[in-house]
Structures are given as structure tokens and as C-alpha cells.
Amino acid sequence: MSIKTLSKKMLAIVVAGAMTMGLAMSTSVFAAGGDTATKTTEAYISKTFNTEVGKNERFTFQATKVTGNAPEVTIPNITFTDTETGSKTERAKVLFPTNWPDAGKYEYTVTETGASPEITDEAHQKMIMSQAEYTMDVYVINGDKGLKISNIIVNKKKDDKGTAATGKVDISDTNNNGFKFTNTYVQEAGTGIDPANPDPTYDKDGSLNVTKTINANGGTVDADKDFDFTAIFNFPKGTDATTLGGVKDANGHVITINENGTCTFTLKANKNMKFTGVPVGTKINVTESATPNYKGSAVSVFNGQSQTKVEASKYNMALTVTNTLGQKQNKVDVTNTYDYVPTTGIIMNTLPYVLMIALCGAALMAFVAFKRRRLQK
């Protein structure tokens, strides 16, 4: 046999051996859990609840069997109390059975099944439920004391909005837990304690009402004059301008709000801008632009509580009111005082110049009189 022929046979033997070893390794990996990384034998789910209004809520979950002979897996409920507001997260340990029928892979689909008490979406409130979906693969092997879990792998199939997603997630009992579901409760600001029966002030003020009054200060003002305003909305976590069907004006028309939460509007004397559809917990910033010959001030009410008066320190100066919208009445009443001076008076802004001219005139008259006296002598 030639050296060339012998070399080819040896190469073929090496390749065949490598393939056999690779197949054996892949088989052992599958039996051990389909992953060569660190094995996980426990799993925790994570629930995040966003709410600016405290709610006693219990959320339920289900692990639906995909593998026909898979035993039942239990996922405990996760609860939140009415003292918890903002964005809160809790975790619960998934409870696996011990009566596995045989060694192998058992697949489950994990979803959130509901909230109790159930909140039905209405005109002034809604519960945004998680539509997340996960595939949980449990690998079982023969151990020294019988069948046991060797590894658990969870992959995301859908996100909280129900959009297709992919990727393995962290199932450990840590802040990095990715086996999670996020829900958001939203109530419209200004509707009161019971959004199904809004407070009487809601019809007039909505989520937020900005009014304009002019103090003529003894003069005559242009009733058709427009005053420029800018409102900035910083919506709470899990919400945006569209969450409650869009932020609207008094006529029910959706208001255009920029990506940075800004909208602009104008008000004439004795007019108002009523906003509706704004979530409780929204931070707002209402600014009236500087207007020549006018000085602004504002009294406001947020969550039914009167606030400290805000007042510009001088004429032609912008005025800003900042606060957070609450469940109860929210309003900002802006008054502009006109810089009026009677015809017999002098506008204070020009008084120094008038005095300078008067002094110069007096000095000139004195100089002329002095010259005349000298000439007469």
C-alpha cells in the first residue's frame, strides 16, 4: 500500500472519529439540558407593577404543558398592596413536581392569566395586562436518588405588548431576572377617587385646566390679544400621550404632543385650555411666555390642594408653574396685570430719561438767563 493511500485512510478514520465524538457530546449535552453553560435547577418569575394610584392587586400565572406527559408546574400568585405606588417589582419561585414520569425534556408555555380584582377598561381608567409569553424547557435526568432536574432553560417568545421576541432569559432570584411580566394601571387625572363616577369638578377642569384673566389696572386692554403658552408633559412609567385614548382638548379633539412631551397653545382674556386624558402622576410644566407691558401671576390647585402663588418679579417676564397631576382637581389660573399709567402720569420705565431731559432743559434756561443778565450789564 502506498504512503498516499495510507494517508487518505488515516485521514478518513480521524474524521469519522471526530464526528462520532461530536455526536456523542451533543447527545450528552441534550440529555444534560441542551446547554453547556452553568446549569440552573430553580426558576423565578418577576412581576413589575406600574401604578401612581395604590391598588390591592393579585396577579396569576400559568405553565401550560406542551409535552404531553409532563406533570403540573405551579407558579405562585404575586400581590401588591395599596400602599405601593410608582414602579414596584416582586418575584416568586416556580414550584416543580417530584413525580417526573421519565428522564428527558419537558416543555411548558408560561403566561400571565389575570389580575384580581379585575379592572375593566373604561373611559377614565385601564389596566394594561402583560401579553408576554415564554417557553420553559425542564431537563430531567436519573440521579442517585431518582429522577431530578438537571437544567431549566427559558426563552422569550412574546414581549409585554404581544410582539414576537426571541432570546434566553435570566431566571435567577436577582434584579437581573428576565423571566418577567409588566402591568400598568392608569387612571385619568382629575377624576377623583372613583374614576367610574368622576368628581363634580372634572366636567369643568378635566385632567388639567389652564385659565387666563387680565387685570387692566385702570387702563384699556385688547381683549383679542393672544398670550402664548407651552405645556410639557412627563408621563409616568408605562404610559404615554396615547394611553387613555390621547390627550384631548375641551372639544374632545386629540392634541398634538411632540416626542419630548411638549405642546403649545394661546389664550385670550377670560379663555381657558382644558386637557383631558392625562394619566395621574404626570409631571407638568406650564409656561406663559414673556409679554411686553404685562406681568404674570398664577394660583393653582393640584390633587385638590391649593398651592403657593407664583408671580413674576417684573413686567415682560415668563411665568412657569410646575407640579404633578393628582386624582383630584388640577388647575392653573393665570392673571396678567397691564402696565398702565394714566395720561397725566409718566411710565416708570421712561422716568429716568424724562428727568434727564428736564434737567438739561433747566440748565439751558439758566445759562440763557445768565447770559442775558451779563449783556444787560
| pTM value > 0.75 | yes
Does one domain contain both 123 and 272?
Answer: no
pLDDT at res. 352: 63
Predicted confidence (pLDDT) per residue in 101-141, tens digit: 999 999 999 999 999 999 989 999 999 999 999 999 999 99
Domain membership of residue 346 (yes or no) is no
Q: Give me the residues of the chain with pLDDT under 70, please.
A: 1-37, 342-355, 358, 360, 366-377
pLDDT at res. 304: 98
The owner of cell 372639544 is 251
How many domains is the chain built from? 2
User: CATH number of the domain that 83 lies in?
Assistant: 2.60.40.3050
Does one domain contain both 126 and 182?
Answer: yes
Taking the alpha carbons at both ends of the chain, their separation in whole angstroms is 151
pLDDT at res. 19: 45
Domain membership of residue 8 (yes or no) is no
pLDDT at res. 202: 98
pLDDT at res. 14: 41
pLDDT at res. 368: 63
Residue 106: which domain range? 30-187
pLDDT at res. 316: 96
pLDDT at res. 18: 42
Residue 371: all three cell numbers together: 447770559
The owner of cell 363634580 is 200
- Choose the final residue of a domain: 127, 161, 187: 187
- Choose the final residue of a domain: 187, 220, 249: 187
pLDDT at res. 377: 57
Distance CA 151, CA 187 (A): 42
pLDDT at res. 220: 86
pLDDT at res. 33: 54
Does one domain contain both 211 and 237?
Answer: yes
